Amino acid sequence: MRWTLLPKPEKEKITRLSEVLGVEPIIASLLLHRGIETFEEAKKFFRPSLEDLHDPFLMKDMDKAVARIEKAITNEENILVYGDYDVDGTTAVALMSSYLKSYYPNVATYIPDRYEEGYGISYQGIDFAEDNNFSLIIALDCGIKAIEKVAYATKKGIDFIICDHHRPGTEIPKAIAVLDPKREDCEYPYKELCGCGVGFKLVQALAKNKEQSMEDLVLYLDLVAVAIGADIVPITGENRILAYYGLKVMNSNPRTGFKAIIQQLKKKILTITDVVFIIAPRINAAGRMKHGNHAVTLLTETDSTKAAEYALEIETFNTERRQTDQQITEEALQQILDNKEENRMTTVVYKDSWHKGVIGIVASRLTETYYRPTLVFTKNENKLAASARSVKGFDVYNALEACSEYIEQFGGHMYAAGLTLFEKDFENFKEAFEKVVSETIDAKLLTPEIKIDAEIDFKDITPKLYRVLKQFAPFGPGNMTPVFMTQNIKDVGYGKTVGEDKTHLRLVVKQGSSPQFTAIGFGMAEKETISCQGNLFKMAYVIDENEWQGNVSLQLRIKDIKE
């Protein structure tokens, strides 16, 4: 692990901010790292307000999108809400369809089949719309590169409204409206919305025209919060407001489908971490193992008995998904060893029988193991399909663009992308990708980095400090959980490996005469020799809470230990 201690902000700024807010200097320092310098900025950070959401009509083409939907409703046209099969897409479809159905009946949903149709808008989906007399398709979390598909629909007399957040290509589809804050000609102030977030802005615009208030829309924010967490977009600006209120809905009055999932879990209060690691994988499992329609059905169901049945079904898909991705990960790791590819700058693995639904998860697992840009390929009909994952600081989308002569189709973000290519181009692509990454990546990015917010002493860790730190939530990209470092600490003699397979590390640590803390390091058994021999060491950690038999105490969650 590469430790990077963030530079301490200017002393005068720390003093000024801590005085104006009445907080300790360490809190002021953390806020300054997040770009917060004034009382007003701190107020917006700690007390997110729905009033601070931007006017949806600032987004390019929003007026056209609203006008076309209102025209469809006036003319009693059939509207098809179309979305991708992942969490962002299925939550967006659930959001848009349930909002429209609240006042207009002629609305149906369509999720493409991951295996038969692939990612994004499909010719099959357009044919379905034509066969069933849909004259307007609202596409969510996809469509920004669907030039030919939109043209195909136009010839059939079907209009498109595209709500996407992926990076556009050189050409924008000739749809009635293309809502995407990443369009170069779009001046919308916040660029980091997820697909469901863009869909919500369209709902917000429709509501504004109907003279509905934001209070009328809060009940949809549980969907937006789940999409924000699952799509790993920055939890800053507008996303912070949407996630903050969405989590409130999740914890007080979630929709019936989410309630059915939550009832299977033993969680009292859901955080964004729970959304990412507990809720999102279950929603995703439907599209990975069976069909994304199952997720939309669960998320739009209002009958609690039916929702419980659907949630149980999705739990089964999730169990199957876990077993499948574990097996494929083991096979992929073995393939890397067999091919003696441990020392490459990239990981590119392929097996024609791997399950397409889990290759993205496998790519993430391989990235955790070898920490380098990774592609996992499988065969899909007459083409190879892959999921790409990257390491922090390296733009895998740009790397793929540089290899585009061997790629049939690709799309995505800086850290995650998908692509298809023909089998004959696989070896050439593999070598081109290795070459591009080798020539462009900074070698230090191939070592995982821990960004440390501040060096503190154990005497600084108090219940009051933790109470304020909790208010920094929801955490995520752009506002990660603060990581601290403390030097010259030692285990007081209780350190040991724990867990069924002894893979975790539990320490009781102190620094000088300071109070002692329990510290837990998941998957850190190999650090036992550094920490349990009575020697001094330094530790990077986050401050956490532990509840045991009704007693709540502060504990430290270890990120890394060094001599």
Q: What is the CATH number of the domain that holds 364?
A: 3.10.310.30
Dihedral in degrees, nearest 10, Cα atoms 195, 199, 204, 210? 180
CA distance 410 to 384: 12
Domain count, the chain: 3
- Residue 238 counted as domain residue: yes
Listed residues 278, 298, 313: the one ending a domain:
313
CB 246 within 8 A of CB 226: yes
The H or E element spanning position 17 is helix 11-21
pLDDT digits (tens, 9 = 90+) for 113-146: 887 887 889 999 999 999 999 999 999 999 999 9
- Torsion sign over Cα 190, 196, 202, 207: negative
Residue 322: which residues within 8 A CB-CB, separation 6 or more? none
The encoded tokens of residue 501 equal 């397979």
- Shared domain for 207 and 191, answered yes or no, is yes
Phi then psi for residue 508, to 5 deg, are -120, 110
Q: Is residue 321 part of a domain?
A: no
Final residue of a domain: which of 420, 446, 472? 446
Q: Which has the minimum average pLDDT: 191-195, 271-275, 423-427?
A: 271-275
| The two three-digit tokens of residue 257, written as one number | 């489908």
- SS3 of 522, please? coil
Q: What share of the chain is helix, strand, coil (3-state, %, to 5)?
A: 45, 20, 35
Higher model confidence: residue 289 or residue 537? Answer: 537
Report the residue count for the chain: 563
- Judge whether 428 lies within some domain: yes
Instruction: Confirm whether 403 is domain-assigned.
Output: yes
**Given pLDDT bands bounded at 50, 70 and 90, which one contains residue 106?**
very high
Is 325 inside any structural domain? Answer: no
Report the C-alpha gap between 319 and 275 in whole angstroms: 17
Residue 324 lies in a domain: no
Same domain, 442 and 455: no
Q: What is the mean pLDDT of the chain?
A: 94
* 236 and 110 housed in the same domain: yes
* Number of neighbours of residue 228 by Cβ within 10 angstroms: 33
**419, two tokens:** 């692509």
Same domain, 442 and 526: no
Do 301 and 374 belong to one domain? Answer: no
Model pLDDT, residue 411:
83
Residue 287 resides in a domain? yes
Alpha helices in 290-394 (DSSP H): 293-300, 304-338, 359-370
Q: Check whether residue 424 and residue 536 sit in a common domain.
A: no
Same domain flag for 369 and 246: no
Q: Is residue 102 part of a domain?
A: yes
Closest to 392 in 3D by CA, of 446, 352, 440:
446
- Give me the pLDDT at residue 291, please: 87
Measured CA to CA, the distance from residue 133 to residue 130 in angstroms comes to: 5
Residues 141 and 216 in one domain: yes
195-209 vs 221-231: helix axis angle to the nearest 10?
Answer: 160
- 60 and 167 fall within a common domain: yes
Burial class, 310, CB count within 10 angstroms (exposed 0-12 / middle 13-18 / buried 19+): buried
Mean pLDDT of the 19-25 span: 95
Contacts of 199 (CB under 8 A, 6+ apart): 92, 95, 96, 140, 141, 163
Task: Reply yes or no on whether the pLDDT at 188 is more than 90.
Answer: yes
Please tell me the distance from the alpha carbon of residue 280 to that of residue 330, in angstroms, as a whole number: 23
Which pLDDT score, from 0 to 100, does residue 134 have? 98
Which residues span the domain enclosing 433? 339-446
The predicted model gives 314-327 an average pLDDT of 93
CATH code of the domain containing 516:
2.40.50.460
Assess contact for 25 and 14: CB atoms under 8 A: yes
- Mean pLDDT across the stretch 318-333? 94
Q: Are residues 96 and 158 in the same domain?
A: yes
* Cβ contact 396:417 at 8 Å: yes
- Note the pLDDT of residue 96: 98
Is 550's pLDDT higher than 80? no
Same domain? For 416 and 364 the reply is: yes
Tell whether the model's pLDDT for residue 459 goes beyond 90: yes
Which has the closest alpha carbon to 125: 99, 95, 96, 93? 93
Q: Does 419 share its domain with 501?
A: no
Domain end: 446, 481, 508, which one? 446
* CATH at residue 174: 3.90.1640.30
pLDDT score of 362: 95
Q: Which of 485, 479, 522, 478 is nearest to 500 (CA)?
A: 522
The average pLDDT across 247-253 equals: 94
pLDDT at 232: 84
Residue 232 backbone zone (phi > 0: left; psi -120 to 50: alpha; other: beta): left
Q: What is the pLDDT of residues 202-211, one digit of tens each?
A: 999 999 999 9
